[in-house]
Amino acid sequence: GSSEAQGFSAIALCPSKRFIAVAEKADRASIVVYDLRTLRKRKNLSQPDASCSRYANICFSQDNETLVAITGDGATPSLVTWRWAKGKVSATAALQEGAPGSVYFECLFSPLDSIITACSTSGLYFARASPEELRFMPSTQVDLGEGSELTCHCWLKQAENYCLAGTATGDLVLYQSCKYSCHLSTALEDRGVTALAAITQGFVAGSSVGSFHLFGISNESDPRDSFFETHTFALDGTARAIVAIALKPSEDEMCAVSSDQQLYGVALTKAGAVKNDDVKPLLGLFHGPGAITGLDVCVRKPLVVTCGLDRSIRVWNYLDHHLELVKHFSEDPYSISLHPSGLHIIVGFSDKLRLLNLLMDDLRIYREVPIKLCRECCFSNGGQYFAAVNGNIIMVFDFYACEKIIDLRGHNSKVRSLYWGADDATLISCGQDGAVYQWDWADGKRSGEFVQKGTVYNCALGTSESVFAVGSDHMMKELEVPDLQPVKQLDGGITLGQIVLSHAEHMMFAGTSEDGRPGCVRAYSFPLTGDFLEYSCLGAPVTRMRISHDDMYLIVAGEDGSVCVFDVRDRQDRSNRSGLAPAAMPWSEEILVTKSDLEEKNLAMQELRNKIEELQLHNEYQLRLKDMSYSEKIKEVTEKYMQDLEQEKNKYELLREEKNDIEMECEERHRQMEDKHHHELQELENTYQQKIMLEVERYQQLAHERSLQQQRWDEQQQLLKQTHEGYVSELTDDFEQKLEEDRQIRLQLEDEKSELHREFEESKAQLEDDIDTEIQNLRHRYDTQLAAEREATLRYKGENGIMKKKFTVLTKDIEDQKEEIKSLLGKEKELQEQIKKLEREISAHKTEIKRRDDTIGAKEKKIYELKKKNQELEKFKFVLDYKIKELKRQIEPRETEIGNMKAQIKAMDHELEQYHKSNAQLDLMIGELRKKLDDMQREILEQRKRICDQQANIRRFKGELYKCAQFIQDPEQLRSSVEALHKQHEPSGDETYDELDADVMGEYKRHEECLKRSLAALQGQYSKDMVEHNAENMRIM
C-alpha cells in the first residue's frame, strides 16, 4: 500500500481474473487497481470532491470496466462508480437511510445487466447504473423478524434473475427481478447465515457455527420451495462463523475464511460425499482472533515458537513454512522463550511461569514457577540460565536446577524488554518508567543506566560497545557502554515497538507499533546512519520480532495474529544462500521422547504385529476359499462360452451359405440391369439427335427473319431523320418572325414612356402650388386650436393633482398585487419542477415498461414454441401408448412365468435363511472361542510379566546373596548380612505371591491345545459349508 494508508478495508477481483482492486483506509481513502500479470499498479481511484476515510466494500462489473464502492463512514453513506481505466468518477448517489443503527456493508453487480445491489443490515436496495447516473429502483420493506438483520447476499446463476440474502437468524430471503419475492422454507435452524456463494445448480451457505450447506434447485411452482438442501458439512473444532466463500470457475474447489482469520479449502468434485475431515486449512493455522504476545527462535533447529491471546502455543518451521505443532491451554500466555537446543520452552501464563518439554507431537509441562502475569522471559545464549519478569523485578534462574539465583530490583514500573549479552554476563532491560539498565546480574549490580522520565521504552538490545533503545518518543537512541550516555538519536517519525540486530552486526531491523496503523519493518544499515528501507507486512502494530541464528530469516508477529517471515539478503554476507554456511553445523534432528511413551509404543507395536500375523493367516485362508470358488465359476463360465462359441460357429456357416446365394442372385440381376440400361441409352441418343436437328433448322429460320427485320428498321430510321430536319427548319422561321414583331413593340413602348414623363413634370409643378396654399390654411387653423388647447391644459393641471392622489393609492395596490404575483410565480416554479421530475419518472417508467414488454414478448414466444413442442410430444406419447399396450400384451405370459419363478425363489430364500441361521450360530461359536483365546493370551502375557518380575527379583537376590558369600570367613558379619537379606525379602502380611505350579501350567496348555483343535475343526466345517452353500446358490442361479 501507499505510505499514507492505514490499512485495507476491502478487496475485489475482476471476473476475468486479470486485475485486483484494494481499498486503502486513510484520511482520504482511495482504491488501487493492480495488474496481476505484471504485479504493477494500474490506477489510483479517489473522489475529488469528497473526503471519506474508508470504503466498506468494492466490486467489479461483469465487463471489467466499471468499479462500484460503498463509502463506509459519514452520516449519509453513498454509492460511487468509476470507469476505472479512465480514472474518473462516473456517478455518485446517496444511499437511502434505513432503520436506526443500520449499516451498509456490501455491494454487488448483477451477472446479467447493470443492476447494483447495496446491502445493509436493515434491507437490500437495487440501483441501475448508467454512464452518467445511478438511479435507485423502488424498494419494499421486508419483515426480517424481531432482532434479525441481513448479514450477506449474492446473485444466483439462474435465468430468473434471482438475488438471495441471508439473515442473522438463519432465514433466506429471495428477491426476483429486483423485488422481494418470499422467504425460503429451507432455513438454517438455530444458526445465522454469514456467507453466500452461487453455483450452477444452486448456492452454498456458510453459517455462524462453521457449517456449510449446499442447496439445489427444485421444480416446485411455489418460490418458497424452489430450493432444497442437498448436503451439509462443517469445520472441525470449535464453532466459528464463516466470513466469506469463493469458488473456482470450474466449481470443483471451494475456499472459505472463518471469523478467526483462517483460510480453508475443500474439493467439491463429489459434493454429496464431502465430509468434515475433507475441509483442510490451506495455510498453517494462525493465531486468532487476538494478538501474538510472544515469539522466539532457537540455534539448533529451524523452529520458531509463538503464543497468543487465543490461548495457544504454536511451533513453526520457517524453512518449510508449515506448522509443526499446536497446543491450547486454559490460561492466557503473555510471553515465551525457546531454549537454544530447541527442546525446551518457558511460557509466562496469567497464573504461573511454566517450563515445558517440546516432544515429537506434544508440549508437556514438567515444572511450574509461581510468577503471575510474566510478560517477558528469555533464555540466555548458552541456555543454562533464563530470566523472567515479575512486575518491576527481574528474576534470574538456573534452568537445569530450576532454582532462583538472584532478583534484580531497580525499575519503578513494569519491565518491557530483556536482552542477554553475548557472553551471558550482562543483562539489558527497559521499562515503562523510562529507564534503560545494563546489569552485571551475577553481582546484582547495575553497570550502566539511562533514565528519561515520561518516555515508555518498548525494546532495548546491546553490543559490546553500545546499547540501543526505542520507545514512545519516536526516537531510536544509541547509548555508549558502560555509562549509557546518549551518543546518537534518530527520529523515526513513528513509534518503534521492536528492534533486532543481526548477529553479524551488519543490519538492524525495527518494527513500527503505532496504534491504528499497519505494522511495517524497517531495515537500517549498521552502524546507524539514519537511512532505512521500509516494508509493509502486517495489518496491525508489530508485537514481536526475532532473527534466526544464521541471519537469513527475520520473523515478525503482530496484533492481528499474523506471522511474517522475511528472507534477509545482506550484501556484506556472501555465505551460501541455499542452506547453512559450509562450516556451520547441520540442523539438529533429535527429539525428546519419554521412557513411558516409548515403552507404550513398543508394547502397542508388538500387539499390532500379533494382530497382523493373525489377520494374515485369516486372509490367506479366505483367499484360498475364494480361489476355489472362483475356479469353479471360471470352469462353468468357460464351458458355457465354449457351447455358445460352437453355436455361433454353426450360425456363421449358415449365414455364409446364405451370403453366397445372395451374391450369385445379385450378380445375375446386375447383368440384366446393365443390358436394359444399355438399350435405353441407345434409344435416348437417337431421340435427342432428332431433336437437335429440328432445333438447328429452327435457328436458321429465325436468323433469316432477323436480317429482314433489320432492313425494315434501317428504312424507318432514314425516314424519321428527314421528317425531323423539316420540322426544325419550320420552327426556326416561325421564331424569327415573332422576334421581329417583339422588336417593333419595344420601340412603340419607349415613345409612350417619354410622353408620360413630360405629363408627370407638369402635374408635379401644379401640385406643389396647391400644397403651399393648403399649408397656409392649416397653419391658421392649428394656431386657433393651440390657444384652445392651452386653456384646456390649465384646466387639466387642476384635474391632474386630483388624479395624482388617486395614482398614489393605486400604486400601493399595484405593489401589493406584485408581491402576491411573485409568491404565486414561486409556487408555479416549484410546481413546474415537480412536473418535470414526474415527467422524467414517467419517461423512465415508460422505458421500463417497454423493456418488460419486450421481455414478456420474448417469453410469450418461448411459451408458444413450448406449446408447439408439447403438441408434438403428445402425438409421440399417443404412439408410445399404443406401443406400450402392444408390449403389455406380449409381457403378460412372461409375467406369469416370472410369478412362478418368484415363488420358486421365495422357497429358495427360505432355504437360504436356514443356511444363514446355521452360519450365524457357527459364527457365534467361533466368536466365543476367539474371546476365550484372547483371554488366554492376556493371561499368558500377565504370567510372562510376572515371570519377568520374579526373574528380576531372583537376579537381584543372587547379587545380594553373592555379597553375603563374601563374608563366609566372618560368621558374625555373615549372620548380620543374612538377617538383613531375610528382612529385605520377607513378604509383608498383606502380600501374597502366586506360585507357578507345573500342574496348573500343564492344564492350561492342554486346555489351549483342545481349544485350538476345536477351532480348527469348526473352521474346516464352516469352510466346507460355505463351499457347498456357494455351489448350491450357483446351481439355483
pLDDT digits (tens, 9 = 90+) for 516-566: 788 899 999 888 888 888 888 888 899 999 999 988 999 999 988 888 999
Please count the other Cβ atoms lying within 10 Å of the Cβ belonging to residue 343.
18
Q: Is pLDDT above 60 for 863? A: yes
> Are both 512 and 396 inside the same structural domain?
no
> Are both 439 and 550 inside the same structural domain?
no
User: Higher confidence at residue 220 or residue 619?
Assistant: 619
> Are both 436 and 485 inside the same structural domain?
yes
> Are both 487 and 551 inside the same structural domain?
no
Q: What is the CATH number of the domain that holds 31?
A: 2.130.10.10
What does the pLDDT look like over 306-341, one tens digit per residue?
A: 999 989 999 999 998 888 899 999 999 999 999 999
> Are both 535 and 422 inside the same structural domain?
no
How high is the pLDDT of residue 733?
77
Domains identified in the chain, total number: 3
pLDDT confidence of 420, banded at 50, 70, 90?
Answer: very high
How high is the pLDDT of residue 75?
57
How high is the pLDDT of residue 389?
95
User: Higher confidence at residue 620 or residue 72?
Assistant: 620
Integer Cα distance of 386 and 379 in angstroms:
4
How high is the pLDDT of residue 582?
46
> Are both 543 and 405 inside the same structural domain?
no
Highest mean pLDDT among 342-346, 751-755, 951-955: 342-346
Domain annotation covers residue 998: no
> Are both 461 and 332 inside the same structural domain?
yes
What does the pLDDT look like over 460-507, one tens digit per residue?
A: 999 989 999 999 999 999 999 888 888 988 988 889 999 999 988 889
Q: Is pLDDT above 80 for 344? A: yes
pLDDT confidence of 908, banded at 50, 70, 90?
Answer: confident
Picking from 446, 470, 495, the residue at the C-terminal end of a domain is: 495
Domain of residue 556 covers 496-571
How high is the pLDDT of residue 993?
42
Domain annotation covers residue 771: no
Q: Is pLDDT above 50 for 1019? A: yes
pLDDT confidence of 284, banded at 50, 70, 90?
Answer: low
What does the pLDDT look like over 2-30, one tens digit per residue?
A: 666 777 888 998 888 889 999 888 878 88
pLDDT confidence of 571, banded at 50, 70, 90?
Answer: low
Nearest by Cα to 305 from 332, 263, 343, 331: 343
How high is the pLDDT of residue 700?
84
> Are both 478 and 488 inside the same structural domain?
yes
User: Higher confidence at residue 887 or residue 582?
Assistant: 887
Domain annotation covers residue 518: yes
Share of the chain above pLDDT 90, in %: 21
Nearest by Cα to 175 from 140, 149, 206, 204: 140
Please state which of the ranges 191-195, 459-463, 749-753, 845-849 shows the lowest mean pLDDT: 749-753
Q: Is pLDDT above 80 for 83? A: yes
Share of the chain above pLDDT 70, in %: 94
Domain annotation covers residue 487: yes
Q: Is pLDDT above 50 for 300? A: yes
Amino acid at the residue 904: Q
Q: Is pLDDT above 60 for 996? A: no
What does the pLDDT look like over 370-409, one tens digit per residue?
A: 999 999 999 999 999 999 999 899 999 999 988 999 999 9
Stretch (H or E) spanning 1010: helix 998-1036
> Are both 298 and 371 inside the same structural domain?
yes
What does the pLDDT look like over 173-194, one tens digit per residue?
A: 888 888 888 888 777 777 888 8
Nearest by Cα to 112 from 178, 202, 165, 197: 178
How high is the pLDDT of residue 353?
94
Please count the other Cβ atoms lying within 10 Å of the Cβ belonging to residue 550.
19
How high is the pLDDT of residue 16?
85
Domain annotation covers residue 835: no
Q: Is pLDDT above 80 for 584? A: no
Write the CB contacts of 303 (distance below 8 Å, at least 6 apart in sequence): 297, 315, 316, 317, 318, 324, 338, 342
User: Higher confidence at residue 688 or residue 724?
Assistant: 688
| The CA-based dihedral angle spanning residues 468, 471, 475, 479, taken in that order and rounded to the nearest 10 degrees | -30
Mean pLDDT of 428-448: 91
Domain annotation covers residue 148: no
Q: Are 193 and 151 in contact (CB under 8 A)?
A: yes
Cell digits of residue 617: 493367516
Integer Cα distance of 35 and 38 in angstroms:
6
> Are both 488 and 514 inside the same structural domain?
no
How high is the pLDDT of residue 989?
47
Query: What is the DSSP code (8-state) at residue 276?
Result: G
Mean pLDDT of 193-201: 89
Domain annotation covers residue 151: no
How high is the pLDDT of residue 331?
92
Mean pLDDT of 926-931: 84
Q: Is pLDDT above 50 for 990? A: no
Mean pLDDT of 88-94: 84
What does the pLDDT look like over 693-740, one tens digit per residue?
A: 888 888 888 888 888 887 888 787 788 777 777 777 777 777 777 777
Integer Cα distance of 61 and 68 in angstroms:
8
Calculate the CA 337 to chain-centre distance. Answer: 36
Picking from 476, 495, 514, the residue at the C-terminal end of a domain is: 495
How high is the pLDDT of residue 578?
42
pLDDT confidence of 961, banded at 50, 70, 90?
Answer: confident
> Are both 367 and 477 inside the same structural domain?
yes
Angle, vertex CA 872, rays to CA 867 and CA 877, nearest 5:
115
For 434: left if phi > 0, alpha if psi spans -120 to 50, otherwise beta; the answer is left
Write the CB contacts of 251 (distance below 8 Å, at least 6 apart in sequence): 199, 200, 268
Picking from 523, 554, 571, the residue at the C-terminal end of a domain is: 571
> Are both 350 and 466 inside the same structural domain?
yes
Q: Is pLDDT above 90 for 286? A: no
Domain annotation covers residue 815: no
Please, what is the average pLDDT of the chain? 84
Q: Are 347 and 368 in contact (CB under 8 A)?
A: no
Mean pLDDT of 215-242: 81
For 507: left if phi > 0, alpha if psi spans -120 to 50, otherwise beta; the answer is beta
Please state which of the ranges 130-139, 351-360, 603-612, 939-948 shows the lowest mean pLDDT: 130-139
How high is the pLDDT of residue 1036?
66
